[in-house]
Amino acid sequence: MLRRLLQLYIGLVLYGVSTAMFVRADLGADPWNVFHLGVAKLLSMDIGTVMIATGALVLLFWIPLRQRPGLGTLSNVIVLGLAADAALALMPPLETLLARSVMLVAAVIVNALATGMYIGAGFGAGPRDGLMTGIHARTGWSVRSIRTAIEISVLLAGCLLGGTFGIGTVFYALSIGPLIQLCLPWFRQKPTLSVAPQTEPAG
């Protein structure tokens, strides 16, 4: 249980850190944060607050998918926004294009690892990723296709709201599905099997 809890919260914090990395790379936010930034700009709100509010609203879409929120789901709603704001306060802006490009690639990798960690911990997917896993469970479609479709849909909505779009956005939308499909098996917790001790047959 302790290992699963550590995996859950490390994954959630890393996800928030990856959000800050996208912002500091300044080459285009990931699709969900294009949406968050668009809403924040429209409503003059802090991005962390928008992330928390969006996570809560996305849970409504779980109802027709018959998904049940868990500890990981509720923690996701709160921790992501707080971790992103904290990481942004600690990360200085980057000056060179090379440094920003490296930060972009690292942000995508950290995001995929973080997603695999907190979903694999088995405490329930976050609101956004619950859409992916719920649709996969109900339809049997591949995680890669579902995630890519969700990211593109959110991206279009975010662009209409005035969110920041760039090459990093396209790179994330096209690569995150395959990367999550690769990372999920690494962190999926398997139940421990108990083996009953063997006894000598009675004579």
Confidence (pLDDT) at 122:
79
Confidence (pLDDT) at 10:
93
User: What is the separation of C-alpha 112 from the centre of its chain, rounded to a whole number of angstroms?
Assistant: 7
Kindly state the DSSP code that residue 39 receives in the 8-state scheme: H
Mapped onto helix, strand or coil, the DSSP state of residue 44 is coil
Reported as a pLDDT band with limits 50, 70 and 90, residue 12 is very high
Q: What average pLDDT does range 173-198 have in this prediction?
A: 67
- Each residue of 62-119: pLDDT tens digit? 877 777 777 888 888 899 989 998 998 899 989 899 999 999 999 999 999 998 888 8
**AA identity, residue 132:** M
In whole angstroms, how far apart are CA 79 and each of 3, 83, 102, 152?
A: 18, 6, 25, 24
User: Can you tell me which residue has the tokens 């809560």?
Assistant: 56
Using left for φ > 0, alpha for ψ between -120 and 50, and beta otherwise, residue 103 falls in: alpha
